[in-house]
């Protein structure tokens, strides 16, 4: 038997009047219309932004947070200090923007993808373990400790053919300028997501180099190229996904990555899913069986509902 919790609030993410919380929420709610642009509002502020969601690859629900493409001429690339810059077509995020986004979305995985038509493809996703979580924390600016490379990622084998993914013990550069340390990153600050997030000194790099603020001077993808060595359509992208690690309540503790709230008879309709203080699934009945409150991915007050809103559970 399969249990399917489902609640409805129009076509989530299809327009600015009905934004979703994240790409993953759109996918999980059944409102995906495939890869493309959607509206999200991670802060629930009423000020949504249009973003690109990858709904078809590796489970879907991936939010594009950095995008660089080689062309003739190459498009301008903006360096964003706020996460709201992800609404632009070509951009890279600085550490401050990633930290802000992590605070609102609590994402759990990063996916790095670059490709050169006359070269190779580097395509990895952070692992669902403590090593992978350390990578997410580093690129989100929550720590300056460079994470271990080996064991922290998974090669996405449909197109991954890089040299770098096979020599993780040689990755990295520390602030002390020591190389071949088996670490992500190059030991610097705000540009850590796009300037040498992965490198093997003097041989294989993943890097975006900008000239005169926003002009694309160089894009390296598992190579060490000179300026403007590329082919139209070569790209460098970073995606993120996942918030389920913040679900649940267990023995008085929250953010435990669990279904439910640890109680008994009402577990199916009282907080089967919750993120404390922010997003809930819940039906609250008053003393005579009347509907007092219904929460659907929100933390609403009493009777903050519209005719036709519903909360249902199915079995199969």
Per the structure, the complete domain to which residue 277 belongs is given by 249-299
253 against 103, higher pLDDT: 103
Same domain as 196, residue 275: no
pLDDT for position 285: 66
Same domain as 188, residue 68: yes
Chain mean pLDDT for the chain:
85
Same domain as 293, residue 265: yes
Q: What does the pLDDT average to over 78-84?
A: 94
pLDDT for position 106: 87
Asked which of 80-84, 92-96, 185-189, 237-241 is least confident by mean pLDDT, the reply is 185-189
Question: With 50 as the cut, is the pLDDT of residue 160 above it?
Answer: yes
Same domain as 182, residue 269: no
Q: What does the pLDDT average to over 274-286?
A: 66
Q: How many domains does the chain have?
A: 2
Q: How confident is the model at residue 279 (pLDDT cuts 50, 70, 90)?
A: low
Same domain as 295, residue 171: no
Same domain as 134, residue 202: yes
Q: Is position 137 within any domain?
A: yes
Question: With 60 as the cut, is the pLDDT of residue 302 above it?
Answer: no
Same domain as 78, residue 105: yes
Structural domain ending residue among the three candidates 241, 264, 280:
241
pTM for this structure?
A: 0.76
Same domain as 284, residue 170: no
Q: H/E/C letters for each residue in the chain?
A: CCEEEEEECCCCCCCCCCCECCHHHHHHCCCCCCCEEEEECCCCCCCCEEEEEECCCCCCCEEEEEEEECCCCCCCCEEECCHHHHHCCCEEECHHHHHHHHHHHCCCEEEEEEECCCCCEEEEEECCCHHHHHHHHHHCCCCCCCCECCCCEEECCCCCCCCHHHCHHHCCECCCCCECCCECCCCCCCCCCCEEEEEECCCEEEEEEEECCCEEEEEEEEECCCCCCCCCCCEEEEEEECCHHHCCEECCEECCCCCCCCCCCCCCCEEEEEECCCEEEEEEECCCCCEEEEEEEECCCCCCCCCCCEEEEEEC
Same domain as 75, residue 218: yes
Question: With 80 as the cut, is the pLDDT of residue 1 above it?
Answer: no
């Amino acid at each position: 038997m399969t249990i399917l919790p489902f609640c409805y609030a129009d076509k989530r993410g299809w327009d600015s009047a009905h934004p979703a919380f994240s790409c993953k929420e759109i996918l999980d709610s059944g409102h995906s219309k495939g890869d493309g642009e959607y509206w999200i509002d991670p802060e629930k502020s009423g000020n949504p932004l249009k973003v690109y969601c990858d709904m078809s690859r590796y489970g879907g629900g991936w939010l594009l947070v950095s995008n660089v493409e080689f062309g003739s001429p190459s498009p301008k690339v903006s360096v964003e200090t706020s996460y709201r810059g992800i609404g632009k077509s070509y951009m890279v995020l600085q550490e401050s923007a990633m930290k802000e986004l992590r605070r609102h979305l609590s994402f759990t995985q990063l996916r790095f993808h670059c490709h050169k038509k006359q070269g190779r493809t580097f395509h990895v996703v952070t692992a669902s373990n403590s090593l992978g979580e350390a990578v997410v924390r580093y690129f989100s600016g929550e720590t300056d400790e460079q994470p271990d490379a080996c064991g922290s990622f998974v090669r996405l084998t449909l197109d991954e053919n890089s040299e770098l993914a096979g020599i993780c013990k040689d990755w990295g550069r520390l602030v002390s300028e020591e190389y071949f340390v088996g670490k992500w990153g190059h030991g610097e600050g705000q540009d850590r997501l796009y300037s040498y997030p992965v490198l093997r000194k003097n041989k294989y790099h993943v890097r975006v180099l900008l000239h005169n603020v926003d002009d694309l001077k160089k894009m390296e993808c598992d190579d060490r190229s000179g300026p403007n060595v590329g082919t139209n359509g070569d790209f460098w992208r970073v995606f993120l996904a996942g918030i389920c690690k913040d679900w649940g309540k267990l023995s008085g503790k929250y953010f435990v990555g669990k279904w439910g709230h640890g109680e008994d008879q009402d577990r199916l309709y009282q907080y089967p899913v919750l993120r404390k203080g922010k997003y809930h699934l819940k039906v609250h009945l008053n003393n005579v069986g009347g509907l007092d409150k219904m929460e659907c991915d929100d933390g609403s007050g009493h009777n903050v509902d519209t005719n036709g809103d519903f909360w249902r559970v199915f079995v199969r």
